[in-house]
Structure 1
Amino acid sequence: MPVHMSDSVRGGPRNGVGLGLALGSAVAFGGSGVAAKPLIEAGLDPLHVVWLRVAGAALVMLPLAVRHRALVRRCPGLLAGFGLFAVAGVQACYFAAISRIPVGVALLVEYLAPALVLGWVRFVQRRPVTRAAAFGVVLAVGGLACVVEVWSGLGFDALGLLLALGAACCQVGYFVLADRGGDAGDAAPDPLGVIAYGLLVGAVVLTAVARPWDMDWSLLAGSVPMDGTPVVAGLLLAWIVLVATVLAYVSGVLSVRRLSPQVAGVVACLEAVIATVLAWVLLGEHLSTPQIIGGGVVLAGALVAQSSAPARGSSEPVAGGGPERELSGRSTAA
């Protein structure tokens, strides 16, 4: 979940570099579920896979945490919210969901987060939202109905869908907590520092919950089947930690520093498309035509909801709760 630095559009060659980084980040995030699912199906508990991902990434990012240790005093609430919700909550729910439903479906359900943020703003905070944002919510909900095929009585595992929805709610919970704990007068914290400490907090929480000492570590020493093809488990884990987490977060932050939040948000929506295509090719998970169309509608609705917010501090109606103007709404699970 990279941090938005400003609302101005950068120009020149930086845009090309930024787009490349944003696309790379979307590919990296999109491959997390595809790499994790074979490990889960081989016998690892989803919580153990999440712990391996978060703890491994936290170890890699530890030097950044030391460098930005002043953040612990400046914004402890923000760090706690990021670690508890955007890291531990989102990823635990997402990995548990993909153990029961297709990767693409889980990620598309998670993309309801921008719509849920708007619901919080409108009905809990009682603040107005733009018509475009409300239209985006309607699009997202309608698209989700196609993704889960409501006309067939929810053919997917109901618990899997609830877990995916839980991942979306965790993103909303993080935004709400950050909004309450933030001070508009403070300088924006360094996004890489927030990510580093979020991973550390998430690792501590997940250690208590997942109990990794009970994990069957021997599974990581062998191979696991990926749609019938044996793949070294250690390579899948390395991809999840180094590429789908560390590289994905860092490249996402660097891309937003070169692009406007709106442009970065457009590219971020490709994450769900990439995850669906990778799951189709590598895992043999096929979506029906109505589900593919519905997925496109979900992403369109999420994009409208994210991009229709005015600049922070504007007197216009808002399209989001506040902190999502600094912290991108991209999925932190994928």
Structure 2
Amino acid sequence: MRAASLAIAVASACCFGFSGPMARYLGAAGLTPMEAVWVRMAGAGLLLVVALVIVRPKALRIPRDRLLFVAAYALIAVAAVQGLFFFVITRLPVGVALLLEYTAPVLVVVWVRFVRGLRLARSAYLGAVVAVAGLAVVVEVWDGIRLDALGLMAGLVAAACCAGYFLMNDAFSDDDMDPLGLIAWGMTGAAVALLPLSRPWNIDWAAFGRTATVGGHTLPVLGAALWLILVATVAAYITGVIAVRRLSAAVGATVATLEVIAGAVIAWFLLGERLGGAQIVGGAVVLAGALLAQSAAARPKTDPAILLTPEASTVR
């Protein structure tokens, strides 16, 4: 059971890892980053809503007392994370932006300990810190670093929203609403919220009938968009929610840092981007942090309050 849960979390990180490379192909086709984000959110939301209407309509029902939660999930856990990241990279180097966003595991364990008042195994804290340190090496945060007050503040808010994604996934039960319904409405709501920023009416839709070349590799733009929607969004979010609910927010958030490593490896294969020594060493450190964190869920405790699990969480 534990191994299966960890495998689901790793699968989610790998699926998310396709986001950057596939978005690069859309960018090469002429779409702006925000337009690519909107295509991703709108496509995933539409696909999930239509699929659930056909095979599982009850999943789309939102209890009245959960309306605000679903709206907050769409705005904070999805739209804000996506929109803020692309704002931050206009003011800070991409490596710094990634590092800021992926301080989320540290924020999650701090929230769980001091707000929820739940004790975690020491390996959960250590794993989160080690994973973030590894990411600093992977993105070579020291290279071309510059500070911008607004960018730094937006990056920290993006990290808080990313932490909110994990905490909110752990803060509802199947009795509240179907997880698939939450994801479907989250994607759809995010697409609506991002309309003023993405302005999809300006998208060159004819680009989806062409091919795009990145790093000497050519793909159909429509194929890249579908992979971004189906794998890097739908599959990634579904497995991500399942993983958090099985492993807890603290452990799930730390394991999710493997997304950056997966993205680097995928870019190596698909885009021809070479992996340097820093990426390899940093990746090993991130992996060590993720393994440390998941070991917190591996050791049985006599006091159920020692370790946060989906069953132990009192916030529902």
Tell me the TM-score range normalised by the shorter chain.
0.7 to 0.9
Structure 1: which 5+ residue stretches go unaligned? 1-8, 327-334
Instruction: State the match for 1:314 in structure 2.
Output: 304
Distance 1:177 1:274 in 2: 24
Counterpart among 204, 208, 211 of residue 223 in structure 1:
211
Indicate whether 1:206 and 2:194 are aligned. yes
Pick which of 261-270 and 82-91 moved more. 261-270
* TM-score, L = length of structure 1: 0.70
Choose the corresponding residue for 2:37, options 50, 53, 59: 50
- Using the TM superposition, give the Cα deviation of residue 97 of structure 1 relative to its aligned residue in structure 2, in angstroms: 6.5
Secondary structure, counterpart of 1:231 in structure 2: strand
Q: CA deviation at 1:234?
A: 1.4
> Which runs of 5 or more residues in structure 2 are unaligned?
none
The number of residues matched between the two structures is: 306
| Displacement after TM superposition at 1:129 (Å) | 4.6
Offset of 1:303 from its aligned partner? Answer: 4.9
Shift of 1:265: 7.8
Using the alignment, how far apart are the partners of 1:197 and 1:319 within structure 2?
Answer: 25
Letter in 2 for 1:59: L
Residues 7-26 of structure 1 correspond to what in structure 2 (within 5 A)? 9=1, 25-26=12-13
In structure 2, C-alpha distance between the alignment counterparts of 1:162 and 1:285, rounded to whole Å? 30
Kept in 2: contact 1:38–1:226 (CA 8 A)? yes
TM-score normalised over the length of structure 2: 0.73
Distance 1:61 1:141, change over 3 A: closer
For the aligned residue pairs, the C-alpha RMSD in angstroms reads 4.4
Indicate which of 135, 156, 162 corresponds to 1:144. Answer: 135
Paired with 2:206 and 2:180, the residues of 1 have a C-alpha distance of 33
1:80 to 71, 74, 78: 71
Q: Is the 8 A contact 1:54 1:199 kept in 2?
A: yes
1:285 offset after TM fit, Å? Answer: 2.8
Higher RCO (CA < 8 A, seq sep 6+): 1
- Letter paired with 2:188: L
Mapping for residues 36-115 of structure 1, pairs under 5 Å: 36-63=23-50, 64=52, 66-94=57-85, 110-115=101-106
SS in 2 for 1:75: helix
Identity %: 44
Contact 1:48 1:210 (8 Å CA) reproduced: yes
> For residues 130 and 19 of structure 1, what CA distance do their matches in structure 2 show?
17
**Cα displacement (A) at 1:270:** 4.9
Could you say which residue in structure 1 is the equivalent of 2:159? Answer: 168
